Structure 1
């Protein structure tokens, strides 16, 4: 089997989309697999699904795949389609991030000119806000280090507590709140 042509790739993309739609609708894996099978003998609609599961076997006149093989193919399709959608979303987010960075650059230029030229405190504040927003958008700020310490900066003591001890502590807290 060679590389699928454009029409075959479109049919495979359609099959994957149909598989996701069926799965989102709560349809079980075997029903999805049979609905999207190439061989009308196992296809629940009794028609060959274009580029359906088991298409090569169907074209060669061989027996259709077993249910487990059909289920495996449906699962693989849904996983691949979800991965593709995730990649598309990540690409969209990256594109939007770049667009927002360009917008911030334009706004920064205007505010910066006014801040430097006029020594306008409001423009300086605006310039700083734009810089802060750009740093958050692009992840330029260093992460904040958080450290938990016990009394006088010493270690935090952790003790094992039984469920009964924990329940007693909760009861004491509830009584104190009353």
Structure 2
């Protein structure tokens, strides 16, 4: 659920508040037994502040997305082997025709199968990509604190994390 709501465009603070254990800050008004700050809630202490909720939500969503990516990679690896075998079978027939007849169409097909197999198996070298700023200059990178992020969200028409 955590990664799903982030993918839906929900901001970090709203995610943190939605998943907080304390019903006073949780948008559902329910004490989630595995929510953020459950240890403090059980002891009757103050719930985590906005900064801590942001940290928890960001860490949690990043972990969930990594796990999802790993699962997708595993599934892709399972599919990669039979696909490579199919391309290999196609290649042998086309390769024989290209060698025997020397026709450009057969040669072109053989090259295309080789290219596709190389991409599938990761044999191609990665393409280097560079980013540049205005007039080819350096890209300016800025960091922002919680207040600045909330201000930007508000300017963009967001709710500033109110859940």
TM class, shorter-chain normalised?
Answer: 0.5 to 0.7
Unaligned 5+ residue runs, structure 2? Answer: 128-163
Q: Between the two structures, name the one with larger relative contact order (CA 8 Å, sep ≥ 6).
A: 2
- Superposed CA deviations along residues 114-135 of structure 1, whole A, max 9, x for unmatched, are 667xx34459634454334323
Q: Pick the structure with greater CA Rg.
A: 1
CA gap of 1:54–1:107, structure 2 versus 1, over 3 A, is same
CA displacement at 1:53 relative to structure 2? 0.8
Q: 1:72 to 1:131 in 2, by over 3 A?
A: closer
- The Cα offsets for residues 65-109 of structure 1, whole Å up to 9 and x where unpaired, read as 223222221121222222223333433444443332121122224
- Structure that is richer in helix per residue: 1
**Which deviations, in whole Å up to 9, do the C-alpha atoms of 1:30-76 show, x marking residues without a partner?**
33222211122321221123421112333444432223222221121
Which of 50, 59, 69 aligns to 1:67? It is 50
The number of aligned residues is: 125
1:30 aligned onto 2:13: yes
RMSD: 3.4
| 1:91 match | 74
Following the alignment from structure 1 to structure 2, what is the Cα–Cα distance between the partners of residues 81 and 110?
44
d(CA) in 1 for partners of 2:112, 2:95: 11
Distance 1:141 1:33 in 2: 41
Stretches of structure 1 lacking an aligned partner (at least 5 in a row): 1-13, 145-178
For residues 26 and 142 of structure 1, the distance between their equivalents in structure 2, rounded to whole angstroms, comes to 34
Aligned position for 1:103: 86
Instruction: Tell me the TM-score normalised to structure 2 length.
Output: 0.55
CA distance in 2, matches of 1:121, 1:90: 39
Instruction: Give the direction of change, closer, same or farther, for the CA distance of 1:27–1:104 in structure 2 (3 Å limit).
Output: closer
1:129–1:46 Cα change, 3 Å: closer
